[in-house]
Amino acid sequence: MLSILLLRLKLMITNKKLLLICFIIPIIVLLITGKTLERSNENLKLSIAVVDEDNSRITRETIKKISKNELFIVKESNFEAAEKMLLRDDIEGVYVFKKGFEKNIKIGKTDNLVQVHYLQGNYIAPAVTDIITSNFMFDIVTEKTKLIVEDIIYKEDSNKSQEFNSKFNERVQTIHKDEEYVLPIITEYMNSAKQDDKNSQVKKLMKNNAVNIILIFIMLAVLMNSMYTRKDYNTQIITRIKMSSCTYLKYTVGNIMGISIPVIITTLIQILFIKVFILKDVNALYLMFIFSIYIISFTIFALLLVNIFKSIQSIQAFIPYIILILYILGSLGTNIRILPTYTIQQSIFDYLLFNDYGNILTNLLYQLINTSIYFIAVITTGYKEYQYGNY
Amino acid sequence: MEIIKLEDISKKYKKEKVLNNLNLSIESGQITGIIGPNGAGKSTTLSIMADLIPYDDGKVTYRGSSIKDSKGKIGFIPQEIALYDSLSGFENLKFFASLYGIKGNKAKDRISEVCQYVGLEEKIKSKVKTYSGGMKRRLNITAALLNNPELLIMDEPTVGIDIIARNNIIDILKKVNKQGITIVFTSHYMIEIEKLCTYIIFIKNGKIVEKGKIDEIKNKYSKSNLEEVYTLLNNK
Ligand SMILES: Nc1ncnc2c1ncn2[C@@H]1O[C@H](COP(=O)(O)OP(=O)(O)OP(=O)(O)O)[C@@H](O)[C@H]1O
Ligand SMILES: [Mg+2]
């Protein structure tokens, strides 16, 4: 097993093309796209949809204010149309100003004012929510409400009006004192209650982008390395391996480790590179952990493909079809539920490639399930050929 | 005394019957050549001897006991050049030695020993893809000698190389045999068979047409060389 591991490592190191693809190109791409994103920072606009169920003065004004902000492109529509846009991924999120918004604010009821809908895995929507909350909602809660309270309610009974006013002011003051305070409905959607800085959504985009680039090169490196294992069969080296007491299990586990360990190491270097040069606040440890598990899982998956398609040529020819199949399966398996409190988008594509369930334990669990399924499949598909060969 | 014995061996690939009640035994300490036309079943026979593939019927014994007990005692040289050409000869040998648990300094010693033996010392540190055909073939044989086998099974070890390189390999195999290693191999070069073997087995359509000592067979058909015997047996 260790022999096979060291062999794969050696084969990878002596392969200049592979080194270039797995090591050097991703770092260059990361650097270029990282810098480009940083520069396009200012032009970056985020699309959101706003549904004004209340259609009151306050909601209209708030929406106008948000629209004026240079950060957003605001599309006002009804919920059905907004939902469609969301599913098409045209917008980051739908912000529903619920019926009774104005009325609730007037009586000091500040929960359940706005519902946010976004697709799972979208890092931007929570950040947008943060911005809207901190920049626009406090305006409403403080000044606007006060004005309206003075203006309209209890006009004829000045005592009552004053009483309400002082009560409301108390509440507003508590809000100002309490730094942790955010509108309750919005808290539900935010993973981090802490305020992000102005560029948080750009940073999140950059992080997403970096993760995607690393992911693509991981897939390339793993696939290429896995394809090279076919050489053992084409050159009958496999008979030498079989003549020794190396079982198929040992051979496979050796291959898995021999392919994944170098890729894990290069990925770690890339993540460190990102942390040092592009995104300083990226959680490197978390990424490394998730990626390591993912790389092992994908290595086993790639070996499964190699076992099924056998020759390097047919694997290469089949890659577009594999993507197409995953895509079709993904859209068939897409299970999108938009509920007031949470949104899920989960496709087989996500499931096969990268599970981002936010929670590290769920992530781990899904990856372990995937990996075990692939492992059993690899052992069953490859055993026969190893045992009976092509003689 | 026989080292390996095949009794009533039958082998099918899907529906096609490749070996048909094959009976043969290999004499210990001798060199045996298996000859016959393309597709006769020679490679299949060798693979069964090396316990590389399963068979449908019959029995294989190694020194009287199960072939499974022969693990590590047989060296097998495939028809292809079974080497990683992006690695050096030394790295290849080191890997194959490690498969047999030969590691560290022990591996180094063993590798230089076998390399000296086959005359491969000079280029052993360069990549296999820079080797000539003859050198690759020699390295291919060397890799099977690392674990000091009792029996060496070779499938066309000299295919595609020139006379000088072939004679070189013939000399090596003679030397190997002198050390007490039994050799079984297939070849389409009758001159080579005559130079090396004491015994031959002629297979056609998965059946043994003739077997025995090479001189006795030549006398039996009153032919002066093996090529004529081959032509005769093939047309039979
Ligand atoms: N893996 C396989 N699947 C199906 N048929 C096979 C397989 N390997 C060999 N055969 C068939 O079995 C028969 C014997 O093949 P084998 O390779 O043993 O012949 P051979 O005597 O070694 O021929 P050659 O001299 O060309 O090497 C051939 O008809 C071949 O087509
Ligand atoms: Mg053959």
**Interface pTM (ipTM) of the complex?**
0.90
Q: Are A206 and A244 in contact (CB under 8 A)?
A: no
Report which secondary-structure segment, H or E, holds A95: strand A94-97
pLDDT at A177: 38
> What interhelical angle do A124-132 and A200-228 show, nearest 10?
170
Q: Name the CA radius of gyration of chain A, rounded.
A: 27
Distance CA A29, CA A33 (A): 6
Q: Give B126's Cβ-side CA count (13 Å radius).
A: 10
Q: Could you tell me if B201 and B24 are in contact, meaning their C-beta atoms sit under 8 angstroms apart?
A: yes
Q: Please give the Cα distance from B153 to A64 (Å, whole number).
A: 86
Cα separation of B84 and A133, whole Å?
Answer: 62
CA–CA dist A336, A61 (Å, integer): 32
Short-list B183, B138, B184, B187, CA closest to B159: B187
Which conformational region is residue A344 in: left (phi greater than 0), alpha (psi within -120 to 50 degrees), or beta? beta
Residue among B206, B190, B194 at smallest CA distance from B45: B206
Beta-bridge partner residues of A342? none
Which are the contacts of A227, defined by CB distance < 8 A and separation ≥ 6? A306, A312, A315, A316
- Whether residue B42 has its Cβ less than 6 Å from ligand 1: yes
Q: How far apart are CA B21 and CA A189, in angstroms?
A: 75
A339 or A88: which carries more pLDDT confidence?
Answer: A88
DSSP letter at B189? -
Contacts with A, B 157-216, CB within 8 Å: none
Which residues of chain B carry a pLDDT beneath 50?
Answer: none
Distance in angstroms (rounded) separating the CA atoms of residues A153 and A108: 12
* Model pLDDT, residue A326: 59
Contact partners, residue A177, CB within 8 Å, separation at least 6: none
Binned at pLDDT 50, 70 and 90, residue A200 comes out as low
What local confidence, expressed as pLDDT, does residue A357 receive? 45
Residue contact B71–A237, C-beta within 8 A: no
Residue A108 confidence (pLDDT) above 90 = no
pLDDT value at A266 more than 70? yes
- Per the model's pLDDT, the better-predicted residue between B67 and A147 turns out to be B67
Mutation pick for ligand 1 pocket among B18, B187, B209, B234 (CB with most ligand atoms within 8 Å): B18
Report the amino acid identity of residue A334. Answer: T
Q: Which residues of B touch A237 (CB under 8 A)?
A: 82-84
Check pLDDT > 70 for residue A35. no
Does residue B220 or residue A35 have the better pLDDT?
A: B220
Query: Residue B153, SS3?
Result: strand
Query: Per-residue pLDDT for A391 more than 80?
Result: no
**∠ CA B131-B136-B140 to the nearest 5 degrees?**
150
pLDDT value, residue A189? 31
Residue B223 to residues A18, A28, B214, B228: CA-CA distances in angstroms? Answer: 58, 73, 11, 6
- Higher-confidence residue of A16 and A322: namely A16
> CB of B18 closer than 6 A to ligand 1?
yes
Range ranked top by mean pLDDT from A111-120, A191-200, A216-225: A216-225
Confidence class of residue A198 from pLDDT cuts 50, 70 and 90?
A: very low
Q: Which of B53, B91, B96 comes nearest A391 by C-beta?
A: B53
The per-residue pLDDT for A59 is 82
pLDDT at B144: 92
Q: Give A75's strand partners.
A: A49
* pLDDT: which is higher, A166 or B69: B69
Q: Which of B6, B13, B38, B158 to mutate to test the pocket of ligand 1 (most atoms within 8 A of CB)?
A: B13
Which string of DSSP letters, residue by residue, matches A304-315?
Answer: HHHHHH-SHHHH
Q: Where are the alpha helices (DSSP H) in B100-182?
A: 104-118, 133-145, 163-178
pLDDT of residue A110: 66
Residue B161 CB partners (closer than 8 Å, separation 6+): B133, B134, B137, B169
Chain Cα centroid distance, residue B210: 19
φ/ψ (deg, to 5) at B80: -80, 165
Q: Has residue A11 got a pLDDT over 60? A: yes
In angstroms, how far apart are the furthest CA atoms of chain A?
101
What is the overall mean pLDDT for chain A? 71
- Count Cβ atoms within 10 A of the Cβ of residue A339 and give its class: 0-12 exposed, 13-18 middle, 19 or more buried: exposed
Report which listed range, A14-18, A311-315, B95-99, is most confident: B95-99
* A165-196 burial: b if 16+ Cβ within 10 Å, else e: eeebeeebeebeeeeeebbebbeebbeeeeeb
Q: Given phi > 0 = left and psi -120 to 50 = alpha, else beta, which region is A236?
A: left
Residue pairs between chains A and B whose CB atoms are closer than 8 Å: 71
Higher pLDDT: B145 or A280? It is B145
DSSP notation for A4-52? HHHHHHHHHHT-HHHHIIIIIHHHHHHHHHHHHHHHGGGG--EEEEEEE
Cross-chain residue pair A235–B47, CB shorter than 8 Å: no
Report the SS3 class of residue A199. coil
pLDDT value, residue B155: 93
| A65-68 long-range Cβ contacts below 8 angstroms, 24+ apart | A65/A136, A65/A139, A66/A132, A66/A136
Q: Is the CB of B44 under 6 A from ligand 1?
A: yes
Cα A185 from Cα A181, distance rounded (Å):
12
* Residue A179 or A367, more confident: A367
Q: Residue B77 and residue A188: Cα distance in Å, rounded?
A: 67
pLDDT at A173: 43
Residues in chain B with CB shorter than 8 Å from the CB of A1 are none
